[in-house]
Chain A
């Protein structure tokens, strides 16, 4: 089985494989932030820091405990989720800009902690040994991506997801309907962080070397741009956004020194022509149903979400 999969991978150009894995990790991270920012409507600027918690715990689990990679990812995801819940409990009583600043502050604290811990080798960072895995890492990444997409879809359509959606639409109304706003917010925060932890773990093992400064403010902004560019609250949007933003810098490489100029321009143009994101207002299931000639059925909260109050 392992040989067969490895053989399959050997047929793909390693450069494309690298980009594929980068976009895969981007999708996992974006899906996580999408739950917090897109679905629940809480602006978080600390997703990069949660990714670093996942990356460092995963790297340490590999070197100290030697758990298999799948279990490792689950454990590091859980550690990240617990950290997020602990951070989230006091700060999620805030909302809007205040929350954003607070998450930013916590992200900075986490970075400073990693820079001063001996176990994370301070500013020198950790070298991560390749994991022992029965499937090659790129396939594992995409397996996790598929799993994450399925889970996120289920969450979106669940009672829990509806409650988060209601919080985004109107916090007071949601509370009046019996939704414990802070509790749900903490849960969504922890859930988003779980994704970040898994993404961080995959990042650590795929890159082979991590450093606290890799997960600074800019990383959080990168992930946020994926979510916003794709379309807040849209799963397909997170996938498209993460893919576009991971592929674009490589795809634009033929422009040599104009590359980042064009990249920035591209973001501006997309946001002007698609202010709700690339996949904002686009419902993939609806399009699919129309394409096979069936009339889509939308319920009220979906229409509410469609109006896009991002």
Chain B
């Protein structure tokens, strides 16, 4: 035997005692103070999806600072409680529960991804805490209950607006759709695109599937080439998008690529090079938007975070905190059971990422939509497409 059994028992009991002391320490930090309003951040600060979580937290911090500098809301300061969930669903559930029962937050902003939002939403609903997702675009989120909101530009809203613009302004008629099978965002987006295209008279002439992580797309491009589309709609992420375009140009396909915010990353142009020139991306936010709020936000963000330009997630999370503050001010209460109704009545909220209106089904409509085009290896604002409010 390597160790005496009693030594093992002693070792384990020390571990146990250690864990007990740590737990009681956590309890101390969790007590609520009367003059702060706590808002929880749900998102990944480490792991694969930290590129969505980190900017969200930055945006929330900036919003909280601005609100606090003007004296807070209802005479109370806003405090952002952060906790990392590593992009893991089980941990996402634990963090949500921790924010609610340990930190006593009144609202949670997050998660930026649809998957974890779907896990967190029933927990928030059950505990009567408002959850506002600043990033999830997939279906089945706000259906969890009347405490669940989001302020994103939904695919189901953005895609018809884009197709309308493509069909009427750019005169595109034939589209090839490429979907990444093992990416939930991609499958959902392609689904929305197909049903919208069908109803708007755009012809889908090819429907190809790839997988995240694939490197060789010669087969798919060969199929697409034979159909000669005007545009390749790709619903996945930038790495595969860039490689697809390189293959397309290699085979002499002239069509440009169009996609959602999954393509919006500098890597898309650096990886794809000249092949991505002219490709277009539809987003809920662009730093080039002319609205005065947006310009002020971009300046403040750059000042706070060493010259960094804010992205979509930072802007949406910033708007999320401001929307919550707005709802609390109008309700004159920081009780989630009260301000959830005023949040649901949000109309034409002028956020930095667009004007948000919450519809009767608690799904947001955000206008305008930014259509970016790649010129000389950089994303440029091509047009702001207004989204029709129903």
Whether the pair A18, B94 counts as a contact (CB closer than 8 A) is yes
CB interface residues, B 246-290, toward A, < 8 Å: none
Q: Name the distance in Å between A279's Cβ and chain B's nearest Cβ.
A: 8
- Chain A positions within 8 Å of B182 at CB level: 111-112, 115, 123, 212-213
Give the contacting residue for B187; candidates A124, A257, A259; CB below 8 A.
A124
Q: Name the distance in Å between B255's Cβ and chain A's nearest Cβ.
A: 25
Give the contacting residue for B184; candidates A19, A22, A211, A279; CB below 8 A.
A211
Q: Name the distance in Å between B388's Cβ and chain A's nearest Cβ.
A: 26
Check A260 for interface membership: any CB of B closer than 8 A: yes
Check A94 for interface membership: any CB of B closer than 8 A: no
Whether the pair A257, B89 counts as a contact (CB closer than 8 A) is no
Closest 4 CB pairs of A and B: A209-B118, A123-B187, A123-B184, A18-B97
Q: Name the distance in Å between B137's Cβ and chain A's nearest Cβ.
A: 12
Whether the pair B184, A257 counts as a contact (CB closer than 8 A) is no
Check B84 for interface membership: any CB of A closer than 8 A: yes
- Chain A positions within 8 Å of B140 at CB level: 127
A250 to B84, alpha carbons, bound, how many Å?
10
Check A122 for interface membership: any CB of B closer than 8 A: yes
Interface residues of chain A, those whose CB is within 8 Å of chain B, are 13-15, 17-19, 22, 111-112, 115-116, 122-125, 127, 130, 203, 206-209, 211-214, 240, 247, 249-251, 253-254, 256-257, 259-260, 274-276, 278-279, 281-283, 286-287, 290, 306
Check B72 for interface membership: any CB of A closer than 8 A: no
Whether the pair B184, A276 counts as a contact (CB closer than 8 A) is no
A17 to B182, alpha carbons, bound, how many Å?
32
Between A and B, 17 residue pairs with Cβ closer than 8 Å are A14-B97, A15-B98, A17-B97, A22-B90, A22-B93, A22-B94, A123-B181, A123-B182, A123-B183, A123-B188, A130-B122, A206-B93, A207-B93, A211-B115, A254-B29, A274-B2, A275-B2
* Residue of B with least CB distance to A240: B12
A115 to B186, alpha carbons, bound, how many Å?
12
Interface residues of chain B, those whose CB is within 8 Å of chain A, are 1-3, 5, 8-9, 12, 19, 22-23, 25-26, 29, 45-46, 83-84, 86, 89-91, 93-94, 97-98, 100-102, 115, 118-119, 122, 127, 138-140, 181-184, 186-188
Whether the pair A14, B122 counts as a contact (CB closer than 8 A) is no
A14 to B124, alpha carbons, bound, how many Å?
12
Q: Name the distance in Å between A260's Cβ and chain B's nearest Cβ.
A: 6
Give the contacting residue for A14; candidates B22, B101, B115, B139; CB below 8 A.
B101
A259 to B102, alpha carbons, bound, how many Å?
19
Given contacts A15-B101, A125-B115, A207-B90, 14 further A-B contacts (CB under 8 A): A18-B97, A206-B93, A208-B119, A214-B89, A249-B91, A251-B19, A254-B29, A257-B84, A260-B46, A274-B3, A279-B8, A282-B8, A287-B9, A306-B1
Whether the pair A19, B9 counts as a contact (CB closer than 8 A) is no
The total number of A-B Cβ pairs within 8 Å is 108
Q: Name the distance in Å between B101's Cβ and chain A's nearest Cβ.
A: 5
A258 to B3, alpha carbons, bound, how many Å?
31
- Chain A positions within 8 Å of B181 at CB level: 115-116, 122-123
Whether the pair A19, B94 counts as a contact (CB closer than 8 A) is yes
Main secondary structure of the interface of B (DSSP, over half): helix
Give the contacting residue for A257; candidates B3, B45, B115, B188; CB below 8 A.
B45
Whether the pair B186, A123 counts as a contact (CB closer than 8 A) is yes
A154 to B118, alpha carbons, bound, how many Å?
39
* Residue of B with least CB distance to A290: B5
A276 to B45, alpha carbons, bound, how many Å?
34
- Chain B positions within 8 Å of A14 at CB level: 97, 100-101, 127
Give the contacting residue for B5; candidates A122, A125, A211, A282; CB below 8 A.
A282
A182 to B89, alpha carbons, bound, how many Å?
37
Whether the pair B186, A207 counts as a contact (CB closer than 8 A) is no
Q: Name the distance in Å between B34's Cβ and chain A's nearest Cβ.
A: 21
- Chain B positions within 8 Å of A254 at CB level: 22, 25-26, 29
A250 to B101, alpha carbons, bound, how many Å?
14
Q: Name the distance in Å between B57's Cβ and chain A's nearest Cβ.
A: 12
* Residue of B with least CB distance to A281: B1
Q: Name the distance in Å between A49's Cβ and chain B's nearest Cβ.
A: 14
A253 to B319, alpha carbons, bound, how many Å?
27
Whether the pair B138, A124 counts as a contact (CB closer than 8 A) is yes
- Chain A positions within 8 Å of B101 at CB level: 13-15
